[in-house]
Structure 1
Amino acid sequence: MSDSTGFAGVRLGTAAGRAVVLAAVLGSGMTMLDGTVVNVALHTIGEELDASLAELQWVTNGYLLSLASFILLGGSLGDRFGRRRVFVVGTVWFAAASLLCGIAPTPGVLIAARVLQGIGAALLTPGSLAMIQGAFVPTDRAKAIGAWSGLGSIAAAIGPFVGGGLVQYASWRWIFLINLPLAVVTVVVAQRAVPETQDPNAPRRFDVLGAGLVALALGGLTYALIEWGSPLAPWALVVMALAAVGYVADERRSDHPMLPLGIFRDRTFTAANAMTLVVYAALGAVLFFLVLQLQTVSGYGALEAGLATLPITVCMLLLAAKGGELATRIGPRVPMTVGPLVMAAGTLLLVRVGADVNYWTDVLPGLTVFGLGLALMVAPLTATVLAAAPDEHAGIASGVNNAVARAGSLLAVAALPIAVGLMGDDYADPAVFDAAYQQATTICAVLLALGGVISWVTIRDPGV
């Protein structure tokens, strides 16, 4: 149990420390896995459920929408009622929604289940990082975050591999059903070994109205982007604008805001989140387009497409924790600048993926370079965001950064297909999709380079 300050004082090298990291990795890794594993199954889901491109976008974005909308509320609930407790509740919710995804008979039911799944993820995701921030002594937090980032990101990277195997040799439904045993293990480890921590100064009431307005704003914008050209798209933009204005007004007047706006007065916190928005927009779009390109244009099966992304897994496994250690020694500015630039270079190499693809010359180099940049960036970015916020707002700071990352992916997956001319069932037409892929990949490279520039201009190392 935590002391009166809300922190438990656990050391990383102890059994308790390893258990905290394990529980956090299992929980957040499950949501990361599900956030990426779906990409590899989209083609098959579209064929079996007779879904349009817009419906496939909603299968991805329904999850991201509810996750981004409610993740701040999830962080606040953890700070108030206990980070471990809310983490466990979120894990159970996520598992129940995964079951509904796995038995969904139509695209509409699957989309609804994905929205519910995102709410569960919004409860457990900020809790996973806040448990680390609250449990460990300050001197061990950076290393613990590095281990969490590396191991957790592996779950996101192996998503296409796991998904490919399940889709090709079992059914796409198993990419959701596999979450049930993972959730059981996560709950057992958390309940038995993780100390409970919370913010003793957390507000007694919660800004449910603020969370609802965020959902309306993001939902309106996402609908307008995906359904661009429909009669309802302009009205969705109106809803988005009104909800955004209402959210800012609500946060300013509320005595229990979901997001204390004063947290953005810290330049480093704001800059790191701006960089997160553009980098994770590109990251989400690259994975979305690449896996479809490999299946639709290059003729890969689901498992082959999943295996193709293995270099990212290897880079994250071997180097992500080292990225955190490097940032501890030299400061976060250089890793947060060079990482996205290296990812941009890798993305440009992936432009060559096409009908006559050679994995060893067209796919492997690009993904390896991309993975090296990601491994260099992830831990320093996370540690910088948390260090810039007061310790008592660990849940909120984690929630903000996660919400920004998911919102970036959400908007990119919604906007880029329209921007490059994809619609209807174009995802199944090799000639049309190939041309769109080239444009989308180039746009992603530009976004990643922009992320590196933002870091260089705005991030300052401690003591500078």
Structure 2
Amino acid sequence: MSSSTDVSQPHATAPPADGTWWTGRMWAMLVVLCSAMFLDALDNAMVGIAVPPIQADLGMSTSSVQWVVSAYVLGFGGFLLLGGRMADLLGRKRVLLAAVGVFALASIAGGLAQDGTTVIIARFVMGMSAAFSAPAGLAIIVTTFAEGPARNRAVGIYTVCGAAGFSLGLIAGGLLTEIGWRWTFLLPVPIALLVLIGAAVLVARDPARRRDGGYDVPGAITITAAMLLLVYTIVEAPIHGWTAGRTLGGLAVSAVLIAAFLLIEKNTAKPLVRLGFLRNSTLIGAALVAAAILGTYMSFQFIGSLYLQASRGWSPLEMALGFLPCGVLIAVIAPRAGVLLGKVGARWMMFLGFVAYTAAYLLFLRIDADSAYAPVILPTLLLIGVAFPLSFTGANVAATSGVAPEEQGLAAGVLQTGYQIGAALVLAVVTATMAVPEGEQPTLTAYHQGMWVIAGLSVVTTLATLVVALRARAAAPALAG
């Protein structure tokens, strides 16, 4: 497998082949890029906890307040493919700076909002901004650090920052909502400004790639519309029903738009996405694993939050502290995940991660009306703390390995789309499975029904990753010969 790093690129500083030594500038640049990831995770966790105070303060209905969370998912998932490709074509540094700047402005708007509609619009713009900054940041990392130990190590550190942002976001969200929900929007602003300054100074400019034949505007409009409609339909499906006419119609129109996009790409001189790129089975497989990672975890967190807060009476801060061991374990393991990845490979990392996920979710099925934290809940969180850095690092490295430098942003966009679509789809299915009537609290039976869906998907993913890893190992001697 050839390296996707071109050391002649303006923004790349060639590290040693074994990745054991980086310059101070490379470390500083990595910290800045990881801070952008940290910012996204921090914001999502804090605002998720602040939803009830937002509803009470602004007088929002239950159906409208859920869009404080869903609008971010819609903006993020709907624009990821476009965001990843624009980073490749317009310049990753330029796209990163613009996206982080817009994120900061939208955060200010949300924090100063006087009505629910403004908050929802701000969250949508924040999600859209993240759809441009996330693939741009990851693409800069993987084109700066050489494929192999250096990249594995950098992606492992990147994983830590995402987990740390989410873990600290839960605690910060619990504390800040005691002061006022607006601070959950305003706290990310100074962080975004520091990322802007750091990226402007430390990330060298990469030139935009000229396209003499122009840009594929019809393709960009079509795929963005398709993804927006698809995410919107999935998010709304639990409310209207999976067999409702508007749900089936939304899915059908999304499929037609995707088919139209493929037709446009086949016949245009300068396609937004080269169709051959979508035949990269390793990338598509990594995106499917990414969908299972975030889909199962976000659904588990949804059930765990309801169980601990609604059924057991825990406060948001108590829940955040209860989940903290998971984040701590991720922070300890993730920087070292690159060493293991270099020994076993990305495919086996994803498999090992899902072995741990499956055990975690099956153990959580033991919950009852008064389960003790240490013997029942903590083991699940510790196993997830092991699973996440293994699977996340494996998926990120697999998705970007062997991809040409000029398409790394697109690869990151495809991977991130897997994460977001998976989170929205699996959570929608789990919510429907639980079948909780409007206005009522879930029962223990509903929690178990949802967890069986999560555990089942985890088992399927474990088996699928095992088959892929075994096939790759069997093919290796043949290729060598």
What TM-score results when the alignment is normalised by the length of structure 2?
0.87
Question: Would the aligned equivalents of 1:284 and 1:409 in 2 still touch at CA under 8 Å?
Answer: yes
The residue type paired with residue 13 of structure 2 is G
Given the alignment of the two structures, is residue 258 of structure 1 paired with residue 272 of structure 2, yes or no? yes
The Cα offsets for residues 297-324 of structure 1, whole Å up to 9 and x where unpaired, read as 1101111111111012111110012222
> Hey, what does 2:145 align to over in structure 1?
136
Q: What is the Cα deviation at residue 43 of structure 1?
A: 4.0
Change (3 A) 1:106 1:423: farther
Matched residues, number: 458
Match among 10, 13, 19 for residue 9 of structure 1: 13
Once residues 46 and 364 of structure 2 are traced to their aligned partners in structure 1, the CA distance between those partners, rounded to angstroms, is: 20
Moved more, 48-57 or 105-114: 48-57
Once residues 32 and 424 of structure 1 are traced to their aligned partners in structure 2, the CA distance between those partners, rounded to angstroms, is: 29
The residue type paired with residue 211 of structure 1 is T
Q: What is the Cα deviation at residue 262 of structure 1?
A: 1.4
Given the alignment of the two structures, is residue 67 of structure 1 paired with residue 80 of structure 2, yes or no? no
> Hey, what does 1:158 align to over in structure 2?
168
> Hey, what does 2:3 align to over in structure 1?
none
Change (3 A) 1:261 1:56: farther
Q: What is the Cα deviation at residue 338 of structure 1?
A: 1.4
Q: What is the Cα deviation at residue 436 of structure 1?
A: 2.4
> Hey, what does 2:230 align to over in structure 1?
217
Q: What is the Cα deviation at residue 276 of structure 1?
A: 1.6
Given the alignment of the two structures, is residue 419 of structure 1 paired with residue 439 of structure 2, yes or no? no
Change (3 A) 1:345 1:277: same
Moved more, 200-209 or 242-251: 200-209
Moved more, 10-19 or 404-413: 10-19
Match among 110, 117, 137 for residue 126 of structure 2: 117
Change (3 A) 1:129 1:85: same
Moved more, 108-117 or 319-328: 108-117
Once residues 127 and 144 of structure 1 are traced to their aligned partners in structure 2, the CA distance between those partners, rounded to angstroms, is: 15
Once residues 163 and 400 of structure 2 are traced to their aligned partners in structure 1, the CA distance between those partners, rounded to angstroms, is: 18
The residue type paired with residue 8 of structure 1 is A
Q: What is the Cα deviation at residue 380 of structure 1?
A: 1.7
Given the alignment of the two structures, is residue 345 of structure 1 paired with residue 349 of structure 2, yes or no? no
Q: What is the Cα deviation at residue 260 of structure 1?
A: 2.4
The residue type paired with residue 122 of structure 2 is A
The residue type paired with residue 151 of structure 1 is C
> Hey, what does 2:370 align to over in structure 1?
356
Alignment of 1:164-179 (within 5 A): 164-167=174-177, 169-179=178-188
Q: What is the Cα deviation at residue 358 of structure 1?
A: 2.2
Q: What is the Cα deviation at residue 56 of structure 1?
A: 4.4
Q: What is the Cα deviation at residue 182 of structure 1?
A: 0.7
Q: What is the Cα deviation at residue 445 of structure 1?
A: 1.7
Question: Would the aligned equivalents of 1:9 and 1:137 in 2 still touch at CA under 8 Å?
Answer: no
The residue type paired with residue 19 of structure 1 is A
The Cα offsets for residues 208-238 of structure 1, whole Å up to 9 and x where unpaired, read as 3122232223323433443327774444344
> Hey, what does 1:181 align to over in structure 2?
190
> Hey, what does 1:236 align to over in structure 2?
250
Q: What is the Cα deviation at residue 396 of structure 1?
A: 0.6
Question: Would the aligned equivalents of 2:293 and 2:392 in 1 still touch at CA under 8 Å?
Answer: no
Q: What is the Cα deviation at residue 423 of structure 1?
A: 4.6
> Hey, what does 2:310 align to over in structure 1?
296
Question: Would the aligned equivalents of 1:219 and 1:240 in 2 still touch at CA under 8 Å?
Answer: no
What TM-score results when the alignment is normalised by the length of structure 1?
0.90
Question: Would the aligned equivalents of 1:279 and 1:451 in 2 still touch at CA under 8 Å?
Answer: no
Match among 426, 447, 464 for residue 457 of structure 2: 447
Question: Would the aligned equivalents of 1:320 and 1:378 in 2 still touch at CA under 8 Å?
Answer: no
Change (3 A) 1:10 1:104: farther
The residue matched to 1:258 in structure 2 has which SS? coil
Match among 333, 337, 340 for residue 323 of structure 1: 337
The residue type paired with residue 380 of structure 1 is G
Given the alignment of the two structures, is residue 38 of structure 1 paired with residue 38 of structure 2, yes or no? no
The residue matched to 1:309 in structure 2 has which SS? helix
Match among 254, 259, 263 for residue 249 of structure 1: 263
Once residues 244 and 52 of structure 2 are traced to their aligned partners in structure 1, the CA distance between those partners, rounded to angstroms, is: 24
Segments of 5+ residues of structure 1 without an aligned counterpart are: none
The residue matched to 1:115 in structure 2 has which SS? helix
Moved more, 56-65 or 318-327: 56-65
Q: What is the Cα deviation at residue 37 of structure 1?
A: 3.0
The residue type paired with residue 103 of structure 1 is L
The Cα offsets for residues 360-409 of structure 1, whole Å up to 9 and x where unpaired, read as 22321110111111122221221111004223211111111011101111
Once residues 102 and 230 of structure 1 are traced to their aligned partners in structure 2, the CA distance between those partners, rounded to angstroms, is: 36
Q: What is the Cα deviation at residue 52 of structure 1?
A: 5.0
Runs of 4+ residues over 6 Å off in structure 1? none
Once residues 105 and 300 of structure 2 are traced to their aligned partners in structure 1, the CA distance between those partners, rounded to angstroms, is: 29
The residue matched to 1:89 in structure 2 has which SS? helix
Q: RMSD of the TM alignment (CA)? A: 2.6
Once residues 51 and 415 of structure 1 are traced to their aligned partners in structure 2, the CA distance between those partners, rounded to angstroms, is: 25
Once residues 34 and 250 of structure 1 are traced to their aligned partners in structure 2, the CA distance between those partners, rounded to angstroms, is: 36
> Hey, what does 1:407 align to over in structure 2?
421
Match among 408, 424, 438 for residue 394 of structure 1: 408
Q: What is the Cα deviation at residue 73 of structure 1?
A: 1.4
Alignment of 1:52-63 (within 5 A): 52-63=61-72
Match among 67, 75, 96 for residue 105 of structure 2: 96
Once residues 334 and 356 of structure 2 are traced to their aligned partners in structure 1, the CA distance between those partners, rounded to angstroms, is: 14
Alignment of 1:73-88 (within 5 A): 73-88=82-97
Once residues 116 and 449 of structure 2 are traced to their aligned partners in structure 1, the CA distance between those partners, rounded to angstroms, is: 28
> Hey, what does 1:282 align to over in structure 2?
296
The residue matched to 2:181 in structure 1 has which SS? coil
The residue type paired with residue 240 of structure 2 is E
Moved more, 234-243 or 324-333: 234-243
Once residues 45 and 301 of structure 2 are traced to their aligned partners in structure 1, the CA distance between those partners, rounded to angstroms, is: 8
Match among 273, 279, 286 for residue 287 of structure 2: 273
Q: What is the Cα deviation at residue 151 of structure 1?
A: 2.4
Segments of 5+ residues of structure 2 without an aligned counterpart are: 1-5, 16-20
The Cα offsets for residues 68-112 of structure 1, whole Å up to 9 and x where unpaired, read as 121121122221222112111111111111222223444443322
Match among 432, 435, 455 for residue 445 of structure 2: 435
Moved more, 156-165 or 365-374: 156-165
